[in-house]
Amino acid sequence: MSEEYNEFVPNVHFELIPIKDLVSNQEYQRNLSMQHVRKAAANFDINQVNPIKVSRRDGINYVFNGQHTAEIIALVSESRETPVWCMIYDDLDYNEEADIFANQMKNVKALSPYEIFNANCEAGNDKELLIRGLVESYELKILPSAGPGGICAVGALESIYDKYGYDVLDRVLRLIIITWEGEQKSFSGNMMNGVARLLNSFGDEIKENTFKEKLGVVSIKELTKNAKERRPGSLGFAEAMLVVYNKRMKPGLQWNKLYSVKATGNKKKENKGSKEYDEEAQVERDAS
């Protein structure tokens, strides 16, 4: 290689090193998360394994990027004798390691939910293909940003499918379409999740014609305002819709069901620490 390119190419080499010979006890390292290690190990894919970055100082292999990768492989292989590919830096001091660790993600652009979804479709993964096929059956498209005739809240589509199943997602889309006739903002993440909450809680007690007649006269703008006044997230939307649905109904749907019925979808466990957000709003913020 010509010397004129040296400043653009890291001075590294690659070696296979047993996990037991790697050290990850530097002060700048984040704490090891065994919860993350176990979760990743349960979904281990050899093609997703990246080389571990190692600084070799005084004959010791200090890991400054990849300690979780090493632990995942050790857990899956049930041995710390297992070798892993390492990218070796021979000329770094401790301060340089810490600086690289602190700033390694500064200029990395994270994949958007749409980009991940689209790649999974290209890979032929069943879940994403099922969701895309369902959306397209209603003559809609999944889009990277808000636009007419499309849904950009990919995270909401996947979340509803995972929590409540294919049939609930199908009914969510159908209800929104017949009620608000495809209005763009009716497919926001909070809106779709709110409808899903209602359907999961009340099932066939939600009559589609009644839903359409009562909710169809309420604009998405007004519904959004009412939802935000009640509480943040999709539960606020579910409550706002339930208020309208129950008007002049005796007896109306029982409110306690909205808070007591658990999701029974495609995932065995939900991440109780996860936070809901309106993905469409996030996409719009990212674009601004």
Taken in order of first residue, the domains within the chain and their CATH numbers are 3-103 (3.90.1530), 113-287 (no CATH)
Q: What's the pLDDT band for 267 if we cut at 50, 70, 90?
A: low
Q: Give, rounded to a whole angstrom, the gap between the first and last alpha carbons of the chain.
A: 42
The yes-or-no verdict on residue 272 having pLDDT over 70 is no
Q: What's the pLDDT band for 264 if we cut at 50, 70, 90?
A: low
77: exposed, middle or buried (C-beta count within 10 Å: 0-12, 13-18, 19+)? middle
pLDDT in tens, 69-93: 999 999 999 999 999 999 999 988 8
The yes-or-no verdict on residue 283 having pLDDT over 90 is no
Summarize the confidence of residues 149-156 as an average pLDDT. 93
Least confident of 22-26, 204-208, 261-265: 261-265
The yes-or-no verdict on residue 261 having pLDDT over 80 is no
Q: What is the mean pLDDT of the chain?
A: 88
pLDDT number for residue 91: 83
**Which residue type does 215 have?**
L
pLDDT number for residue 279: 46
> How many other β-carbons are positioned within 10 Å of the β-carbon of residue 49?
15
Which one, of 279, 278, 288, lies nearest residue 224 by Cα? 278
